[in-house]
Every structure is written in structure tokens, then in C-alpha cells.
Amino acid sequence: MIDGALLRPIDHLLLRGDPARLALDGRSGSYDYAELEQTLGRLAGWLAGFGLAKGARVASWIAKGPVAALMPLAAPRAGLVHVPVNPLLKHAQVAHILADSGAHLLIGTAARLDSLQPGDVPAHCRLHREEDAACAMSGGQGIGPSTAAPDDLAAILYTSGSTGRPKGVMLTHANLWLGAVAVADYLKLTADDRTACVLPFSFDYGQNQLLSTWYAGGCVYPLDYLTPRDVMKLVDRRDITTLAGVPPLWVQLTELDWPAQVAARLKRLTNSGGALTRPLVARLRALFPEADLYPMYGLTEAFRSTYLPPALVDSHPDSMGRAIPFAEILVVRPDGRITDDGEPGELVHCGPLVAQGYWRDPARTAERFRPAPAVSRYGGMAVWSGDTVRRDADGLLYFVGRDDAMIKSAGNRISPTEVEEAALAVPGVAEAVALGIRDERLGQAVRLLLRSADGAVADAVAAHLKQELPNFMQPRDMIVLTQFPRNPNGKIDRVALAKEHGA
């Protein structure tokens, strides 16, 4: 189904660009494609110098900059597997990722490495500061493009599930390459485009900002912004044409007073990590009249599934759109048959964008990755999303509901279980339930219910969570109850709690 000549090792991406064109710019300097390819070779050579076995995992926990931008290409060029860690995570989450992935090397900023506690780093894992990598990039011995096979593992991206700790999604060179090709195609990216990369590179959506722009020969501008105004300033200063975001960021950006000439610089807005509301769509269309708006739906297990063409946004603002290139999206009944138009069913993603399962987790892999429905033109393994959607007569998809308990806040996927386990570590907390409640700015916020005889225990829980969980996982509020409702099996009746205390 896929022309083999289309596929390349992901570290070959920069070779597509015009050597003299700008490829990467930012506070740490600028690089044309020829310079960035040379810098990539040096970073890969430094990684290869550690003598790790092929396929060994290398984690990075760093801010945006040249090292972070090149690690997704440098590790695979060195025959290694990249494990990017969200910079917002704290030591407990990082410890889990290091242990679960079996990482042999962690590259981090000094402050982040210093935050790790005894026992967080496995004995076989070496620590190196980001400055070491940066020095190697500026004058080390480089290595040339790899000869990796399309199905060689290139990255493990950790994503939260509705229960348990984050799980690592395994991505091959083909997964990453075809994702870049697909997005560059439907976004109509060109070598003249300049993409502001404001999303974390630990997210598939954030990482693809780099890969799709480079596939098209354009330039990327990584930015760790402190305020939404920083984003507006970057658009003005660097003549940005493309901006990817999540709904809470769009809400903040539409609250700014954009000069007309600055707003007009943007030619393309892309959204994922949560649905856009009709009022927000209207505000974006009014504020950025020169920009095409691309609502999108995806899941890390299959990268991206659908997008809504800009021409249909005004007439179908609630739609998820249709399948992106290389994706086959089916809406199926519980027995695997295709639904009728308008009939709700489970979204099943088939095709070469489907990841290789969860790292060292066959049980959870078997739950999500199952054989494609018999009608699939691709066959093989498919991602059964757990999301209920419906398809209209024109083939457009509409989101109906999420079957799992995942909380999606500001584009982040939050496991309720992880929040609950942190709260249960506080003396006096007998039970804990984390709920996702509606929030105008975040999409969803966390409400934490605590069962305790101590009405003041919430203060202790708040202090503990601030130490153990990243900011985006902090509860908006807490409610202390003396009893939790139970179902006939004696388990906590989460449905009843959500009905009474959700919003």
C-alpha cells in the first residue's frame, strides 16, 4: 500500500532541504540546512561515542533549543531510540520513565538533573548535562546518515492512560517519516513557511511541528514561552506563518490585542489535543482572517487520524473531518462491522501510521492494538481508540464521547490514577478519586475528591501534590467527604461521584 521508495530513515530528513535555506532559528542561534545537517552528525557522533548497543534508549529532559530539536534525529542516526521527557514532569514521573524504558543515558538541564532524588535513576543510566551535548554539536566528530530500516524503532513517546502510570508508545522510522509526509501534504507546507514550535517536543503533535516543516524545507522557531504575549511577539519578529496549538492556548491568544499587520502574518493555524468550541472558532476566524484553520484529531498510538479542511470549518465547525493521508479510519460496531451513516461506533485507526504497541507492556498493548476489521484495506494491527464517533453521509466524522476516564487539560492527557496515588500517600487520606470537570480555559480541570475524617487534610494533600506532580496535574479544587458511594461489588461508585461532583 505504501511505495517503499517514499520511505527514508528519519535522520535523512534534513537532506531534503535547500542547503542554503534557514532550517532552525531561535535564541541559541540560526542554522541553514547544510549547517544543521553537520550539527546533527556531530550530536549523533557524540551519542554513538558512548558505545551503547543498537536500540538502547536515550532519554532527554531539556528545554527547547538546538539539542532538543535535533535529538529526534540524532538518536536514531546513532542507532539508538529516543525517549523525550516532558520538561513539565517532576522527579517521580521521570523516575518511572527511566525505569520503564530502560534508558542508559539521560541528557538534562542542570536544574532538572539536580531535582532527581536518590533512587530515581537506575544504576545502569548515566547522566549528562545538556551543555555536554551542545559542546559536542559545536565541534565534535560527526557521523553520516544512517541505513536504518523502516521498521527499526526510532522513538518511545510516553503518554498517560486512564489507569496506571504513563506507557511508552513505540514509533519506527516509518511511523515518523510518514507522519511528516502526511502533515506537510495536507497542511500544504512549503519551503517558504516558518513554524513557531510552542508545544513540547515530548508530544507527538509537538515533535511533528519540526518533522513536517523540515520535510517541506521550511524553518522552525522553537519557543518556551512564559506568556501568550511571547508567542505574539515571535509571530511579529520572525514573520511566522504556521502556529500549532491546543484550545487553552487559542483562548489565551484571542484575549490579546493583536495588531492587524501581525495577525495577518499567520497563514495556518492547527489545533489538536481537544476540540475547538464554536465561539472559539468564530474568534479565531475573525482575529486571523488570512489564516487557514485546521481542526485535527489524533492519539499518540496512531499519531494523527483526521483533519477538517479549512474550507469546511465554517459549515461544519463541530466535525473532526476525514482521514489524513496514510490513515484509514473506520467506525465500527462491537462486532467489528461498519456502522451506518449517523450510527455511533468506535473509531478504529488502520494503516502505516499505527504505532508498534506499548513498550514492554503486552497486556495493555493487546487491549488497544488489535487486528484491523475484516473490511480494512490495510489489514494488520489497528488502534481501537475507545472513542465513540459517528460518520455523516458526506463521510465527515463527529466526536460523541470518550469511553475511558482520561482527563484532557490544556492539551495534556492526565491519568486520574496517578493523581489519586499521589494523594493517597498523604496520611489521613483513605481514598481518592480524580475527576475531569469542565473548564473554559483548560478544556478540563482536575477535581480531587478525598475520603477522610480530617476535614483539613486538603491542605496537606495540596502541599504534597505540588512537590510530586507537575503543574498541569494540580487539582483546581478538592472536596473532602466522609463517605464514598459504593456499587454492588463494594467498589467506589465513580459514576455516582461524577454525577454529584462533576461539572
Distance in angstroms (rounded) separating the CA atoms of residues 410 and 412: 6
Check residues 2 and 360 and name the one with the higher pLDDT: 360
Task: Report the first-to-last Cα separation within the chain, whole angstroms.
Answer: 45
Confidence of residue 278 (pLDDT cuts 50, 70, 90): confident
**Whole-prediction pTM:** 0.88
Q: pLDDT tens digits, residue range 395-410? A: 999 988 766 667 889 8
* pLDDT, average across residues 221-250: 94
Q: pLDDT tens digits, residue range 327-337? A: 999 999 999 99
* pLDDT, average across residues 185-201: 97
* pLDDT, average across residues 279-306: 95
Distance in angstroms (rounded) separating the CA atoms of residues 17 and 33: 6
**Domains contained in the chain, CATH given:** 1-172 (3.40.50.12780), 407-501 (3.30.300.30)
Which grid coordinates are listed for 257?
490585542
Cα 333 to its chain centre, rounded Å, is 28
| The total number of residues written for the chain in this structure | 503
- pLDDT number for residue 363: 94
Whole-number Cα distances in Å, 470 to 86, 89, 94: 10, 5, 11
Mean pLDDT over the full length of the chain: 93
Check residues 413 and 451 and name the one with the higher pLDDT: 451
- Statement: residue 245 has pLDDT above 60: yes
- pLDDT number for residue 421: 84
Write the burial class of residue 361 (CB in 10 Å: 0-12 exposed, 13-18 middle, 19+ buried). Answer: middle
Q: With pLDDT > 90 as the criterion, what percentage of the chain qualifies?
A: 81
* Cβ–Cβ under 8 Å, residues 402 and 347: no
Q: pLDDT tens digits, residue range 115-126? A: 999 999 999 999
Q: Please state which of the ranges 56-60, 73-77, 223-227 shows the lowest mean pLDDT.
A: 223-227
- pLDDT number for residue 347: 97
* Cβ–Cβ under 8 Å, residues 389 and 399: yes
* Cβ–Cβ under 8 Å, residues 182 and 298: no
